[in-house]
Amino acid sequence: MFSSASFRAIEGGNLGTSFTSNSRSLSSSALMSSSAHFTTTMNISPRKRVGVLVSVSASASASDSASVNTNSGNNLPVSGLVFQPFEEVKNEAFVVPAALHTSIARQRFMDECESAINEQINVEYNNSYLYHAMFAYFDRDNVALKGLAKFFKDSSEEERTHAEMLMEYQNMRGGRVKLHSILNPPSEFDHAEKGDALYAMELTLSLEKLTNEKLLSLHSVADRCNDPQLADFIESNFLNEQVEAIKKIAEYVSQLRRVGKGHGVWHFDQSLLLEGGAAV
């Protein structure tokens, strides 16, 4: 019934490849009566994604007629510009300050955040100072608990590192570091009922919990001031580390409560010396 039908694919106005299909024989009279319509869409060239619409219509005429329409998405006009940097930088928020004592890096950094960071720096330095006093106590010749001495020395250095991290962040955001006064720590840590080791470790646990509260307060200031960069800095560098430290020191307190004030304290001290841990 079907005769030899030829389809020519035209790409971009040039002749492409001819495809001939010999399947069935179809008479001209049948074409006239059936009025068949064939529509095919093909992408010929792998280099250009151009849609070619070929419409073959068999009508009352004995001869076949074909019409070709080509639509290219590459000819679409460019819409409005999304980013115009040379116009947008004229906004007052992006003008570089000319004053000598004004930070030129500061952006979206509220005074409340700056003050809260300075307060946290003071907290970290106070912790460091107290842990250093504990190190000095347990390193005495008449106390001689070297494991506890090492633990508190490492803890003191860790807290000072935290303070320096906050100072560097303050400078990075264009704030000004202001160091506050530090209280004098006690020099004696012996306790009549608990003994010096348990008393010092319980004091450390309370101090770490207080520090965690201060960090959470700093994080809430960042949220209130809509400062996601400060919030991310606190989350990434302090919060998880702080709860891990609380858990570890809580375990030390439990162990020291079990061993009492006698010979068990020496064994605990030796385990600290081997472990090399620190209050974070």
Residue 243 carries which side chain, given as an amino acid letter?
V
| Cα-based distances in Å from 9 to 22, 31, 36, 40, 57 | 17, 22, 19, 10, 15
Element (H, E) at 66: strand 65-71
For residue 33, give the 3-state DSSP assignment: helix
- Tell me whether residue 170 is annotated as binding: no
* Long-range own/partner contacts, residues 242-247 (CB < 8 A, 24 or more apart): 242/208, 242/211, 242/212, 242/215, 242/280, 243/212, 244/280, 245/208, 245/279, 245/280, 246/205, 246/208, 246/209, 246/212
| Cα-based distances in Å from 185 to 123, 127, 130, 145, 182 | 13, 9, 5, 20, 9
Residue 174 carries which side chain, given as an amino acid letter?
G
Burial of 157 (0-12, 13-18, 19+ CB in 10 A): middle
- Tell me whether residue 159 is annotated as binding: yes
- Tell me whether residue 162 is annotated as binding: yes
Burial of 237 (0-12, 13-18, 19+ CB in 10 A): middle
Q: Strands 5-11, 14-21: parallel, antiparallel or unpaired by DSSP?
A: antiparallel
- Tell me whether residue 229 is annotated as binding: no
> Any idea what the Cα angle at residue 239 is, between residues 214 and 245, rounded to 5°?
95
Residue bearing tokens 């003071």: 122
Q: Which residues pair with 40 in a beta bridge?
A: 54
Binding residues for Fe cation: 124, 159, 162, 208, 242
List, as residue ranges, the binding site: 124, 159, 162, 208, 242
